[in-house]
A and B are shown apart, each in its own frame.
Chain A
């Protein structure tokens, strides 16, 4: 399967990265990791890229790493379509102090607009 993983540098992205790398090691999927710039996140795209490089090397898998510019949600949906991917994987929300699952605006945009299947990693 041809898989596109979208990362915005948040905590939920870190979970999605770990889960997807583990899964890729088991399945041998073709994995592309797209880092999307999100201005309000503390971590810079460079830091995220470094984390991704370490994770890939540590797992001993092959993956293409790319950076997407522009609005995060639409950049991911467009890349998933143009690249002919079978699956778009993104972080599946954060939890409030109460334990309520919260989906951010990027997730909502991707769910409502993607023409590929979407996987949310909790």
Chain B
């Protein structure tokens, strides 16, 4: 599945690295940590957040509903991808993920060889408090540290707040002639 997109010529510059503690717009501390594939407790905490996720915020079929389907969806993402959790008082309140566009990430010598798809979800009670932006910036910092160069995403065309957030950190619109807007960034 090779789908070649256009990417900005210039690198988007530097991003902060996790782990980090940031404040949301209410001044509450939010911890940003990488979720390692071996961290079963962290995985369960993430499943718990999606279990309470408002299904009206689904985009293009994800996240799924029901614990079994949530686990089936997350397992390959956590095994092969780069995942960042946002926690408040220990509970996961946000998740940002990068998934490689390959079936065999272990075979890659250089993570810069493939394109990575990005998505961010913030639990509804914590939305519009800056957590999505913090997750996005720190995930891109972690990605760059690991040698990832090309990141893309799709967003529904009507979702202007999300599109402008992505543009602020350096994503550019790149085609997508359908319901979704495709955007890409070079790290």
Q: Which of A's residues lie within 8 Å of B, judged by CB?
A: 95-105, 107-108
Given contacts A96-B154, A97-B117, contact A102 B178 (CB under 8 A): yes
> How many B residues touch the partner, as a band?
10 to 19
Q: Does B13 contact A (CB under 8 A)?
A: no
Question: Which B87-137 residues have C-beta < 8 A from chain A?
Answer: 97, 99-101, 117, 119
| B101:A97 contact, CB within 8 angstroms | yes
A83 to chain B, nearest CB (A): 26
A96 to B1, CA, bound (A): 10
B61 contact set on A, CB distance < 8 A: 95, 99-101
A108 to B179, CA, bound (A): 7
Taking A98-B97, A99-B64, A100-B117 as known contacts, 15 extra A-B pairs with beta carbons closer than 8 A to each other, sorted by chain A number, are A95-B61, A96-B117, A96-B154, A97-B101, A98-B62, A98-B77, A100-B59, A100-B61, A102-B60, A102-B154, A102-B178, A102-B180, A103-B179, A104-B178, A105-B177
A98 to B121, CA, bound (A): 13
Proximity string of chain B (16-60) to chain A, C-beta cutoff 8 Å, 1 when within and 0 when not: 000000000000000000000000000000000000000000011
- Interface contact tally, CB-CB below 8 A: 41
A98 contact set on B, CB distance < 8 A: 62, 77, 97, 99, 117, 119
A57 to B73, CA, bound (A): 36
A101 contact set on B, CB distance < 8 A: 60-61
A87 to B59, CA, bound (A): 27
A95 contact set on B, CB distance < 8 A: 61
Proximity string of chain B (56-88) to chain A, C-beta cutoff 8 Å, 1 when within and 0 when not: 000111101000000001000100000000000
B111 to chain A, nearest CB (A): 14
B79 to chain A, nearest CB (A): 13
| B59:A99 contact, CB within 8 angstroms | no
A103 to B61, CA, bound (A): 11
A24 to B101, CA, bound (A): 36
A-B contact pairs, 13 of them (CB 8 A): A95-B61, A96-B60, A96-B154, A97-B100, A99-B62, A99-B64, A99-B77, A100-B60, A100-B117, A101-B60, A101-B61, A105-B178, A108-B178
